[in-house]
């Protein structure tokens, strides 16, 4: 089958979070399984762009409202990612350093989606499946079906839409309707949700199939979906939750070139000790104490707002028996509060405010526990990376965290789970972590090697996507 993934992110080209990891890995597994998997994404000004060779495959012109724009599609020449990578270049709109965060993001991603549809409609043959990810690619199923310029050629192609995060829906005021290419006006209701053009809702209505990135998240969205609960219930028949996998080549403690000492489940004790020594040495933390880390965006969904208080409280209540290291960026109030805790609890707490891929690998390898108190977690990849590196995940029971982590109090459990994103629940879990580390050493060692052998690679989930594609291919 030929599958086209459309996304705003793809690792290692451009990544802001887990979306990039998923779109950088799933197509690779699909290619390995004999499919033709292609990824098309915006051409940002990233290091990857300048370090690789490109060939021009298409040039075109389209309108964004009254404004004509030219676009080019370039292809990475060597296929080094294991799938075909295409970038859409739109001068002045997409070629920026960051992926998101600009005032004209609406215009940028609209133009991107229009260009993708235009390009696809010019192909000699047609792909079997167009697979769109999150709201930046969410208008494509609508445009393919009802956009006058595209529907004649593209309306028959089945589309899959994956919701990685329903908190962000890409809302566009109806006053910007003129930016959309001409479409069948009888279908305006497909665009609308609560008197706003809602790309996420539109994709849920228009795509042939809808997926979420874990089964539990699919369930949760029927009751809490930032306003889309009724829609998720209505479209339940065509929706399914498929758990993300991890790229087992990139996230492999035996081969990872970004860590100090490689290890497998037999050498986990020594391997982690060496990585922890490096980490603790660098951040001034005591390597004999359990090291608890947090890696992620400092936003409300991840419960980062309670992190400073939870860490402070844990250090006091447990008398400094554990060390904490936080890697992340986001809300500046949280960033400042974390810096304050670091300042006041020197030797117990440290932080790295910013994005640092290399440090994240060393932290998965060197930490003893990884904390994820998320309020919302559609899947979460960090906990799966932690499992692979023998780092015990401490997670709130929600979404994908619920689907991937079993509490050590249960039969063959290997993680720590708690119910509420609150300071008391986190503090209590920190106590359990300290107890496990200090007093239940045999169990702790067993858990580490057990979790390292759990297969969270994409093999099984890529198969599930294939079955989904097969079921709609000739529909």
The residues that touch ligand GLC, with contacts defined as CB under 6 A, are: 17-19, 22, 164-165, 213, 244, 377-381, 400
Pick the closer one to ligand ADP by CB: 23 or 74.
23
| Assigned token pair, 345 | 């609890």
CB 159 within 8 A of CB 111: no
Residues 281-300 that bind ligand ADP (CB under 6 A): 295-297
Pick the closer one to ligand GLC by CB: 18 or 328.
18
Report the first-to-last Cα separation within the chain, whole angstroms: 14
**In the complex, what is the shortest distance from the CB of residue 244 to ligand ADP, in angstroms, rounded to a whole number?**
7
CA distance 219 to 213: 11
Count of residues engaged in binding ligand ADP, rule: CB under 6 A: 18
Contact stretch for ligand ADP (CB under 6 A) within 93-101, 233-241, 255-263, 373-381:
373-381
**In the complex, what is the shortest distance from the CB of residue 325 to ligand ADP, in angstroms, rounded to a whole number?**
12
Which of ligand ADP, ligand GLC, none lies near 360, with the C-beta cut-off 5 to 8 A by kind? ligand ADP
**In the complex, what is the shortest distance from the CB of residue 352 to ligand GLC, in angstroms, rounded to a whole number?**
20
Kindly provide the b/e burial profile for residues 53-80, where b requires at least 16 CB atoms within 10 angstroms of the residue's own CB.
ebeeebebebebeeeebebbbbbbeeee
Pick the closer one to ligand GLC by CB: 265 or 301.
301
Kindly provide the b/e burial profile for residues 352-382, where b requires at least 16 CB atoms within 10 angstroms of the residue's own CB.
bbeeeeebbbbbbbbbbbbbbbbbbbbbbbb
Could you give the angle at the alpha carbon of 67 between the alpha carbons of 198 and 136, nearest 5°?
A: 30
**In the complex, what is the shortest distance from the CB of residue 5 to ligand ADP, in angstroms, rounded to a whole number?**
16
Q: At residue 210, what are phi and psi to the nearest 5 degrees?
A: -120, 135
| Assigned token pair, 174 | 């109806």
Task: Please tell me whether residue 8 binds ligand ADP under the rule CB under 6 A.
Answer: no
Pick the closer one to ligand GLC by CB: 290 or 400.
400
Task: Please tell me whether residue 21 binds ligand ADP under the rule CB under 6 A.
Answer: yes
Residues 325-344 that bind ligand ADP (CB under 6 A): 327-329
CB 338 within 8 A of CB 307: yes
CB 228 within 8 A of CB 222: no
**In the complex, what is the shortest distance from the CB of residue 395 to ligand GLC, in angstroms, rounded to a whole number?**
11
Task: Please tell me whether residue 356 binds ligand ADP under the rule CB under 6 A.
Answer: yes
CA distance 396 to 416: 8
Pick the closer one to ligand ADP by CB: 191 or 246.
246
**In the complex, what is the shortest distance from the CB of residue 303 to ligand ADP, in angstroms, rounded to a whole number?**
12
CA distance 418 to 12: 33
Q: At residue 348, what are phi and psi to the nearest 5 degrees?
A: -115, -30
Task: Please tell me whether residue 12 binds ligand ADP under the rule CB under 6 A.
Answer: no
**Contact set with ligand ADP (CB under 6 A):** 17-19, 21, 295-297, 327-329, 355-357, 360, 379-382
């Amino acid at each position: 089958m030929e599958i086209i993934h459309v996304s705003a992110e793809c690792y290692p080209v451009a990544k802001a979070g887990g979306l990039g990891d998923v779109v950088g890995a799933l197509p690779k597994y699909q290619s390995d399984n004999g499919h033709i998997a292609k990824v098309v994404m915006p051409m940002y000004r990233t290091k990857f762009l300048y370090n690789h060779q490109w060939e021009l495959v298409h040039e075109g012109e389209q309108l964004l409202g009254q404004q004509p724009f030219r676009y080019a599609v370039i292809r990475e020449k060597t296929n080094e990612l294991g799938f075909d990578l295409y970038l859409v270049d739109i001068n002045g709109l997409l070629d920026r350093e960051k992926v998101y965060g600009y005032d004209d993001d609406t215009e940028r991603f609209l133009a991107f989606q229009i260009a993708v549809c235009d390009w696809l409609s010019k192909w000699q043959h047609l792909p079997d499946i167009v697979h769109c990810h999150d709201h930046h690619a969410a208008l494509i199923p609508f445009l393919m079906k009802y956009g006058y310029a595209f529907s004649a050629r593209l309306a028959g192609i089945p589309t899959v839409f994956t919701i990685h995060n329903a908190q962000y829906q890409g809302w566009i005021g109806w006053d910007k309707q003129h930016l959309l290419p001409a479409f069948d006006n009888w279908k305006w209701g497909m665009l609308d949700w609560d008197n706003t053009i809602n790309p996420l809702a539109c994709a849920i209505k228009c795509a042939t199939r809808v997926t979420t990135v874990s089964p539990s998240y699919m369930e949760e969205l029927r009751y809490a979906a930032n306003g889309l609960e009724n829609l998720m219930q209505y479209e339940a028949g065509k929706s399914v939750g498929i758990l993300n996998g991890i790229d087992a080549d990139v996230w492999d403690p035996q081969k990872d070139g970004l860590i100090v000492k490689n290890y497998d489940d037999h050498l986990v004790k020594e391997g982690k000790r060496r990585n922890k020594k490096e980490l603790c040495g660098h951040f001034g933390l005591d390597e004999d104490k359990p090291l608890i880390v947090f890696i992620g965006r400092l936003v409300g969904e991840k419960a980062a707002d309670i992190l400073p208080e939870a860490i402070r409280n844990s250090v006091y209540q447990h008398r400094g028996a554990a060390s904490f290291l936080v890697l992340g960026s986001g809300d500046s109030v949280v960033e400042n509060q974390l810096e304050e805790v670091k300042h006041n609890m020197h030797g117990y707490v440290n932080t790295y405010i910013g994005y640092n891929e290399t440090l994240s690998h060393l932290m998965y390898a060197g930490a003893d526990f990884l904390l994820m108190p998320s309020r919302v977690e559609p899947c979460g990849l960090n906990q799966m990376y932690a499992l692979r590196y023998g780092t015990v995940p401490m997670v709130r029971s929600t979404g994908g965290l619920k689907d991937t982590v079993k509490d050590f109090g249960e039969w063959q459990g290997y993680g720590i789970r708690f119910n509420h994103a609150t300071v008391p629940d986190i503090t209590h879990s920190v106590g359990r972590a300290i107890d496990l580390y200090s007093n239940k050493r045999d169990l702790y060692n067993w858990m580490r090697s057990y979790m390292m052998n759990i297969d969270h690679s994409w093999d099984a989930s890529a198969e599930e996507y294939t079955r989904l594609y097969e079921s709609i291919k000739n529909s």
